[in-house]
Amino acid sequence: MRIKTRLIHGGIEGDPHTGAVSVPIYQVSTYKQEAVGKHKGYEYSRTGNPTRHALETYIAELEGGARGLAFGSGMAALSTVLSLFSKGDHLVVGDDVYGGTYRVITRVFSRLGLDATYVETSNTAAVEAAIRPETKAIIMETPTNPLLKVSDIAALSAIAKANNILLLVDNTFMTPYWQNPLELGADIVYHSATKYLGGHSDVVAGLVVAKDAKVGEELHFLQNAIGGILGPQDSWLLLRGMKTLGVRMEEHEQNARTLANWLAERNDIKRVIYPGLPSHPNHELAKKQARGFGGMISFDVGSAERADEVLAKVKYFTLAESLGAVESLISVPARMTHASIPAERRAQLGITDGLIRISVGIEDVQDLIDDLEQALS
Ligand SMILES: *Cc1c(COP(=O)(O)O)cnc(C)c1O
Helix-strand-coil percent breakdown of the chain, rounded to 5?
40, 15, 45
Q: What is the pLDDT of residue 355?
A: 96
- Index of the ligand 1 atom closest to the CA of residue 145: 13
- Index of the ligand 1 atom closest to the CA of residue 141: 13
Per-residue pLDDT of the chain (377 residues; tens, 9 = 90+): 899 999 999 998 888 889 999 999 999 999 999 999 899 999 999 999 999 999 999 999 999 999 999 999 999 999 999 999 999 999 999 998 998 999 999 999 999 999 999 999 999 999 999 999 999 999 999 999 999 999 999 999 999 999 999 999 999 999 999 999 999 999 999 999 999 999 999 999 999 999 999 999 999 999 999 999 999 999 999 999 999 999 999 999 999 999 999 999 999 999 999 999 999 999 999 999 999 999 999 999 999 999 999 999 999 999 998 999 999 999 999 998 888 778 888 888 889 999 999 999 999 999 999 999 999 99
- Decide if 344 contacts 375 (C-beta within 8 A): no
Distance CA 137, CA 31 (A): 38
Peptide bond into 176 cis (omega under 30): no
Domains annotated for the chain, with CATH where assigned, are: 3-242 (3.40.640.10), 245-376 (3.90.1150.10)
State the distance from the centre of ligand 1 to the C-alpha of 34, rounded, in angstroms: 41
**Catalytic site residue 212?**
no
Q: pLDDT tens across 267-277, in order?
A: 999 999 999 99
For ligand 1, atom 6, the nearest C-alpha belongs to 74
Q: What is the pLDDT of residue 14?
A: 86
Q: What is the pLDDT of residue 337?
A: 84
Distance CA 256, CA 254 (A): 6
Residue of 67, 89, 96, 98 with catalytic role: 98
- Decide if 232 contacts 275 (C-beta within 8 A): no
Distance CA 17, CA 15 (A): 6
For ligand 1, atom 1, the nearest C-alpha belongs to 192
Quote the distance between the C-alpha of residue 324 and its chain's center.
Answer: 9
C-alpha distance from residue 26 to each of 203, 235, 236, 346 (Å):
17, 10, 9, 46
pTM of the model: 0.96
State the distance from the centre of ligand 1 to the C-alpha of 192, rounded, in angstroms: 4
- Index of the ligand 1 atom closest to the CA of residue 193: 7
C-alpha distance from residue 309 to each of 39, 98, 268, 336 (Å):
62, 26, 14, 16
**Catalytic site residue 196?**
no
State the distance from the centre of ligand 1 to the C-alpha of 118, rounded, in angstroms: 18
Helix axes 50-63, 232-242, angle to 10 degrees: 40
Shortest CA distance to 293 belongs to which of 252, 323, 335?
Answer: 252
C-alpha distance from residue 336 to each of 101, 184, 276 (Å):
16, 33, 25
Residues with a CB atom less than 6 Å from ligand 1: 73-75, 98, 100-101, 141, 145, 170, 172, 192, 194-195, 204, 206
- Index of the ligand 1 atom closest to the CA of residue 101: 10
State the distance from the centre of ligand 1 to the C-alpha of 70, rounded, in angstroms: 14
The residue type found at 349 is: L
State the distance from the centre of ligand 1 to the C-alpha of 65, rounded, in angstroms: 21
State the distance from the centre of ligand 1 to the C-alpha of 38, rounded, in angstroms: 39
For ligand 1, atom 7, the nearest C-alpha belongs to 74
The residue type found at 59 is: I
- Index of the ligand 1 atom closest to the CA of residue 172: 13
Residue of 4, 6, 46, 313 with catalytic role: 46
Q: Could you tell which of 75, 189, 237 is best to mutate to test the pocket of ligand 1, judged by most ligand atoms within 8 Å of the CB?
A: 75
Q: What is the pLDDT of residue 13?
A: 84
State the distance from the centre of ligand 1 to the C-alpha of 228, rounded, in angstroms: 15
**Catalytic site residue 170?**
yes
